[in-house]
Structure 1
Amino acid sequence: MTGTEREDAALPDDLDAVRTALIEWYEADHRDYPWRRTDDPYAILVSEVMSQQTQLDRVVEAWDAFLDRWPTVEALASADRSDVVAFWSDQRLGYNNRARYLHEAAGQVVDDYGGEFPETPSELQELMGVGPYTANAVASFAFNNGDAVVDTNVKRVLYRAFEVPDDDSTFDRAAQTLMPAGESRVWNNAIMELGGVACQQRPRCDEAGCPWREWCRAYETGDFTAPDVPTQPSFEGSRRQMRGRVISALKEYDELALDELGPRVRVDYAPEGKYGREWLRGLLSDLSDDGLIQLEEQETTTVARLQA
């Protein structure tokens, strides 16, 4: 199977449902960074440059202070470059060349573009120090005019959820196919939020309410390997193993109540214990959400059976 064929096979058939699930999840609740509340390309460019080597929570204070001192692109362009570099160093933002490039880019916007930022990724790359990723981010978040962002977090999400091969061009094609047309601002924010909050190196699928659990291959199998997470999790005792035991038991017995099923899934099952009814209900609920089993609430217990 070629890379393109595998990519096409990996993406779900109902892309509209996948897109809607992610956007609704993001819009319902996300980290409230201040640059997400503006479409000012200057403020967004500053945030993107600062974020390149610095954790986002640390960037907030530096970003606020930078914009207090140089609130517009014209103010930055007219500033003394040594002051900008000194600020960068004082804030421990690393790589002082980025401060020089940012100052130079501000001068270009003022001198070459009359103070108005270019709006496309290709034009934005003409600015000093602005590479393809930063250009696309500014085009997306300031002008809703970008392509699909593909960073480490996005690659991890695509690899795990849809088995997109670890190949840059294939990641790019898959990301672009997934992104709804004309919605780069919300989509790129949402998929990066998914990678940063739910699909971390150590995944938090259920805790973060990942909206793609229904389609995610890693969630189904328990294999959360990714390009930046090369170690295969142990199968013994894994979620994947427990899900498999549930399915096997129900194939053999047709239907089972919780306390009949539990010991067939874990030998240490104890109804009121750590691996008891509450734990088993969570596992069964996930399998039910995935359309693999049916649950029936009876008067004194819950009965599980395979989906007909």
Structure 2
Amino acid sequence: MADATDWTRPDDLDAIRETLVEWYEADHRTYPWRETDDPYRILVSEVMSQQTQLDRVIEPWREFVEEWPTPEALAAADRADVVGFWTSHSLGYNNRAKYLHEAAQQVVEEYDGAFPRTPTELQELMGVGPYTANAVASFAFNDGDAVVDTNVKRVLYRSFSEIHNADDPDYESVANALMLPGESRIWNNAIMELGGVACKKRPKCDAAGCPWREWCHAYQTGDFTAPDAPTQPSFEGSRRQFRGRIVRTLGECDEIGIDELGHRIRVDYSPDGTHGREWLRELLSDLAEDGLIDVVEAGEETAARLRE
């Protein structure tokens, strides 16, 4: 089978849909962003949870929306404070904080404080790609397509032989054909929950009471292979790690010379060495292009400071 575009809906599609929704409604993990339809708070959760386990996002999310409860509050905030929050909570790439701040400013200035509602409009916000736009449209406005993340791909691959046997699986088409029409909020939450609780890398079909065991190709055949999850590059020693250290250090002082900064962020910093001025200047240049810092040149001296 070359692809899965000729996937046909099973005769018992209604039962497949109903059992999944009933399973989800009976018992599911509780996350605060699942208890709201506020698009701003949902956007914050989506940005925070990129490549981060959901349980680790709960407290930072609560603190963030307490500090900046509305797009207006975030838009009026000092960007350095937002980036500092992001860094202190180890939430990944600092440019996500910058983009979130800019997105809030767009909502206030370009949309008069009213969040755009459709995936197409949401993608106009800074840092919001197709996946995040669709997730916000789904969970805030119940008006999105099927969300297809790594967990959902694993569910579809194992559940349906057409996907399992395809050379180039069309996950999106299958996911949208399955989804309850007009019910993207509960459907996407339910199928993502299925992948996160029952259809894990090591499946817990019976223990989690998977509602699709009756139809599941993997459960019936014992073949629980799944698409490889994308690997996360090592954080230790990465440019991302040192970018974070730079921002944290600059948050503690008004301005700092390049060599002093280098010694603070790296024990083996040597001005003329492999990890010296040239290496550090590249990192500073990247952060300046992202709008997070300013690099100050004064003769032969170079210094850096957080951008206000």
Describe the SS at the equivalent of 2:24.
Answer: helix
For structure 2, the 5+ residue unaligned runs are 230-308
Per-residue CA shift, 1:30-79, capped at 9, x if unaligned?
00000000000000000000000211101000000001100111000000
CA distance in 2, matches of 1:205, 1:38: 29
Contact 2:20–2:212 (CA under 8 A) maintained in structure 1: yes
Instruction: List structure 1 runs of 4+ shifted beyond 3 angstroms.
Output: 165-169
2:104, 2:86 → 1: CA distance? Answer: 16
Query: Which one of 23, 26, 48 corresponds to residue 25 of structure 1?
Result: 23
2:207 maps to what in 1?
A: 207
Q: For residues 169 and 105 of structure 1, do their structure 2 counterparts lie closer, same or farther at Cα, with a shift above 3 Å needed?
A: farther
What does 1:63-102 correspond to in 2, within 5 Å?
Answer: 63-102=61-100
TM-score, normalization: structure 2?
Answer: 0.72
8 Å Cα contact 1:7/1:170 also seen in 2: no
Distance, in Å, in 2 between the alignment partners of 1:217 and 1:113 is: 47
Alignment of structure 1 residues 91-170 onto 2, 5 Å: 91-163=89-161, 164-165=163-164, 170=170
Percent identity between the two aligned chains = 73
User: Are the structure 2 counterparts of residues 151 and 168 from structure 1 closer, same or farther at C-alpha, using a change threshold of 3 Å?
Assistant: farther
Whether contact under 8 Å (2:32, 2:58) holds in the other structure is yes
1:62 equivalent to 2:60? Answer yes
Confirm or deny that 1:216 pairs with 2:230.
no
Quick one: distance in 2 between partners of 1:168 and 1:118? 33
Amino acid at match of 1:75: A
- 2:2 touches 2:168 (CA, 8 Å); kept in 1? no
Structure 1 length-normalised TM: 0.72
- Kindly provide the CA deviation profile for residues 239-295 of structure 1, in whole angstroms up to 9, marking residues without a partner as x: xxxxxxxxxxxxxxxxxxxxxxxxxxxxxxxxxxxxxxxxxxxxxxxxxxxxxxxxx
CA distance in 2, matches of 1:24, 1:146: 21
Task: Flag the 1:217–1:124 CA change in 2: closer, same or farther, 3 A.
Answer: same
Task: Look up the SS of the partner of 1:3 in the other structure.
Answer: coil
For 1:163-202, what aligned pairs fall within 5 Å after superposition? Answer: 163=161, 164-165=163-164, 170-202=170-202
Q: Decide which structure has the larger Cα Rg and report it.
A: 1
CA-atom RMSD, angstroms?
Answer: 1.6
1:12/1:215 contact within 8 Å kept: no
1:51–1:59 contact (8 Å) kept in structure 2: yes
1:228 CA drift (Å): 2.0
- What one-letter code is carried by the residue in structure 2 that aligns with 1:170? D
- Structure 1 unmatched ranges of 5 or more: 230-308
Contact 1:153 / 1:200 at 8 angstroms: preserved in 2? yes
**AA matched with 2:32:** P
Return the structure number with greater relative CO, CA threshold 8 A, min gap 6: 2
CA change 1:124–1:5 in 2 (3 A) is closer
> Aligned pairs, how many?
228
The one-letter amino acid paired with 1:48 is E
Contact 1:125 1:132 in 2 (8 A): yes
Q: Does 1:228 align with 2:233?
A: no
Partner Cα distance (1:105, 1:192) in 2: 26
**C-alpha deviation, 1:13, in angstroms:** 1.9
